[in-house]
A and B are shown apart, each in its own frame.
Chain A
């Protein structure tokens, strides 16, 4: 089955700087890669996703890149703000697969 590794487990960034979180996956058939943000006590919220037919997707300060050859994908947050502090989970789903496999999460702290 699919295995998703996520690094780092914790990340502290000065406000205004950029943050990068990286994930690798094992199943080369995976074709959908969402990122979820979960604030303390709240639901995981889908913030951006990417499909295997594109290499990069951007939405304002958030971008995701995908390298299918290396089987890794990354979340980039620019101009970080205190409200970006949360736990971020990457996930992967294979073609014809009904399940999302989640990474172990990254706790991002933005230092004012």
Chain B
């Protein structure tokens, strides 16, 4: 399996709801990422996990809560979101962290989130 998968594809939620996004990869990658992408903008890094430990939190509001239960899975728990949080949420993975060579980052298809 050479892909990053994400579920669900689309999600509509109210501001009081709690929902979760799921990301999975079976490439043996040890670094996993969450990005947020608004229309016509580049992906914006939110969180990075390395060997199931949170390595980077880009000052993301606490209404977004990441979780890495094992080396293949990455979740993003959502609670009390705002309409401006509506975006495409992308998961990515790479063999490892850091600037070493052959450390390509691959993206999942994303979850299109709409907050009403």
Please classify how large the interface on chain A is, using the bins under 10, 10 to 19, 20 to 34, 35 or more: 20 to 34
A44 touches B101 (CB 8 A): no
Q: Which of B57-116 contact A (CB under 8 A)?
A: 90, 97-99, 101, 103-110
A46 touches B105 (CB 8 A): yes
- Which of A44, A87, A98, A99 sits near B90, CB closer than 8 Å? A44
B97 touches A98 (CB 8 A): yes
B56 touches A98 (CB 8 A): yes
A94 touches B99 (CB 8 A): yes
Known: A43-B109, A44-B43, A49-B104. A99 touches B98 (CB 8 A): no
Which chain B positions have C-beta within 8 A of A97? 98-99
- Which of A32, A45, A87, A95 sits near B107, CB closer than 8 Å? A45
- Which of B50, B90, B99, B109 sits near A96, CB closer than 8 Å? B99
Which chain B positions have C-beta within 8 A of A87? 40
B106 touches A102 (CB 8 A): no
- Which of B42, B48, B97, B110 sits near A102, CB closer than 8 Å? B42
Main secondary structure of the interface of B (DSSP, over half): loop
In the bound complex, what is the Cα–Cα distance between A100 and B90 (angstroms)? 14
A105 touches B42 (CB 8 A): yes
Which chain A positions have C-beta within 8 A of B43? 44, 89, 102
Which chain A positions have C-beta within 8 A of B103? 32
A interface residues, Cβ below 8 angstroms from B: 31-32, 34, 36, 42-46, 49, 51, 87, 89, 93-100, 102-105
26 residue pairs from A and B, CB less than 8 Å apart: A31-B99, A32-B99, A32-B101, A34-B104, A36-B107, A43-B107, A43-B109, A43-B110, A89-B42, A89-B43, A94-B99, A95-B99, A96-B99, A97-B98, A97-B99, A98-B31, A98-B50, A98-B56, A98-B97, A99-B45, A102-B42, A102-B43, A104-B41, A105-B40, A105-B41, A105-B42
